[in-house]
Amino acid sequence: MTKVAPKLLIFAGSARHGSFNKKLAQAAAQIAETKACSVTLVDLADYVAPVYNGDDEAEGGIPKTMLAFKALMKEHDAFLIASPEYNGFVPPLLINVFSWCSRPEEGDTSLVATRGKYIGLMATSPGGLGGIRMLPRLREALADLGAITLPGMVSVGSAMKAFDDDGQIVDEQTKARVEALIDTVIDAASKS
């Protein structure tokens, strides 16, 4: 029996035009496309939703954009997330996306979009630490949603110098770390 290639969903935790984390997600997607997996790269700017509020959900349900993103999450075996940090915190955009997508629809099992999903985490920022302070906080939050965050998190400092004009990662060692994380995610998803 032939094993089907795992489906990898890649996105950045930023909707900002010119985001360094969007560049990191794009560069990772290009690397992943050379691997034995199916790759979907999305931009959260295409999935705008109001800040989660239980009253809004009770009145109007889950926004269509979040239903669409939740469907994408359910269709994929694994995620690769490139996220900025905001003063060491997980960005509000990611918190909001996961808040909405964790909400059950009729017939759903608990946390259906995240439970058992393999996740690789990356971050980049203009500072020297490259978002490293936020990554453990995001990993912990995702674990609470039933996701399996994998070892080998990648942080890329000095983001303004990390990418060339074509959006490729300049430093070969950094590129190798991103590729190793992708390999870890694909390997874990392939065995499930």
Residue 79 has pLDDT above 90, yes or no: yes
CA 150, CA 145: separation in Å to the nearest integer?
Answer: 14
Is the entire prediction scored with pTM above 0.85? Answer: yes
Is position 2 within any domain?
no
Contact 66, 33 (CB under 8 A): no
Residue 138 belongs to domain with CATH number: 3.40.50.360
User: Which helix (H) or strand (E) is 80 found in, with range?
Assistant: strand 78-82
Categorize the per-residue pLDDT at 172 as very low, low, confident or very high, splitting at 50, 70 and 90.
very high
Single-letter amino acid, residue 71: A
Range of the structural domain that residue 136 is part of: 7-191
Strands 78-82 and 7-12: parallel
Is position 25 within any domain?
yes
Is position 43 within any domain?
yes
146 CB contacts (<8 Å, ≥6 apart)?
110, 111, 114, 115, 116, 117
pLDDT mean over 63-83: 98
Residue 49: DSSP 8-state: -
Given this model, what pLDDT does residue 2 score?
A: 54
Please, what is the average pLDDT of the chain? Answer: 95
Percent of the chain's residues with pLDDT above 90:
94
CA 116, CA 187: separation in Å to the nearest integer?
Answer: 14
Our count of domains for the chain comes to 1
pLDDT digits (tens, 9 = 90+) for 30-54: 999 999 999 999 999 999 999 999 9
Residue 186 has pLDDT above 80, yes or no: yes
pLDDT mean over 168-191: 97
pLDDT digits (tens, 9 = 90+) for 81-132: 999 999 999 999 999 999 999 999 988 888 999 999 999 999 999 999 999 9
Tokens for 49? 């939703």
Given this model, what pLDDT does residue 35 score?
A: 96
pLDDT mean over 166-175: 96
CA 75, CA 113: separation in Å to the nearest integer?
Answer: 8
Other CB atoms within 10 A of residue 175 CB: 16
